[in-house]
Amino acid sequence: MAGTLEGKVALVSGSGRGIGRQIALKLASEGARVVVNDLDDAPGNETAAEIKAMGGEAIACNGDVTKEGFAERFVAAGIDSWGGLDIIVNNAGYTWDNVIQKMTDEQWYAILDVHLTAPFRIMRAAQRFIREAARREAEEGREVFRKVVNISSTSGVFGNAGQANYSTAKAGIQGLTRAMAKEWGRYKVNVNAVAFGLIMTRLTEAPAHGGASIDISGREIPVGVRPEVLQTAEKMIPLGRGGRPEEAAGSVYLFCIPESNYVTGQTLVVSGGRP
């Protein structure tokens, strides 16, 4: 598929559903070859199949991003399939909320593992390929930019009650982003973050007290926001509503295109104007 990202190889974690799925579809629509990932096989495979059906190239590398060895397998999937690695989008994650006096160590570490440790490991696993490719390209007199987009949240920028674990992890990903922008600048890698506000996905739209939950490695994690809370939140957004997943994907795409080659170490807040 011809497009702005023609021939690029992109890894998108957590891309079987929601925002991640839309990111994968957007990058593929612009010509990128996409390694799709989901915790569960079915949604990951479905996204990969959808990309192929629209004329793109994709493979699924499903599994838990927090497990030992996953990062190496994820990175190898793109390199072994297409011989390159150009874009990494660290998107996988979920929330497991509680006030601090009720938050367990398990809750704390589970959220830090998926939102902060997993992106760190994926970037670490990609370092050798990126270093060697950058050295080879420099010797050839070519300037080739690669992109990393880490997904943060307004909870990481401003904090949020009941989300000490999530707010900490998402603030940490901004620190990792800034550090890696400096560390990988010599390799011509732009490392940026997108901090989402209210985006309407299954994690926000399901009724919080209606029994809705997701299964994370055998844990049943309650999800959703009460309708009255959602209504109040949307009233505080200058644009008048929560964002759509495809709009969220568009903001990630901005950091993946050549026009952003001189932008690095930045966090873009995507919240419909709500501070």
37 pLDDT higher than 60: yes
Q: What percent of the chain has pLDDT over 70?
A: 97
- Say which residue, 224 or 245, is predicted with more confidence: 245
Residue 121 lies in a domain: yes
Q: How many Å apart are CA 165 and CA 147, to the nearest integer?
A: 27
Structural domain count of the chain: 1
**Torsion, CA 182, CA 186, CA 189, CA 192, rounded to 10:** 10
How is residue 84 written in tokens?
């390159």
Name the catalytic one among 166, 187, 253, 262: 166
Bridge partners, residue 60, by sequence = 36
- E strand residue ranges, the chain: 9-12, 33-36, 58-60, 87-90, 146-153, 189-196, 213-216, 219-222, 267-270
166 is catalytic: yes
Domain that holds residue 67: 9-270
Which tens digit of pLDDT belongs to each residue from 77-113?
Answer: 999 999 999 999 999 999 999 999 999 999 999 999 9
Residue 1 lies in a domain: no
Identify the helix (H) or strand (E) that includes residue 229. Answer: helix 227-235
Which tens digit of pLDDT belongs to each residue from 102-155?
Answer: 999 999 999 999 999 999 999 999 999 999 999 999 999 999 999 999 999 999
Residue 3 lies in a domain: no
Q: Among 35-44, 45-54, 224-233, name the one with the lowest average pLDDT.
A: 224-233
* Domain harbouring 242, CATH code: 3.40.50.720
How is residue 143 written in tokens?
């300037």
pTM value is 0.94
208 pLDDT higher than 70: no
The pLDDT-based confidence of 177 (bands split at 50, 70, 90) is very high
Residue 2 lies in a domain: no
Identify the helix (H) or strand (E) that includes residue 74. Answer: helix 70-82
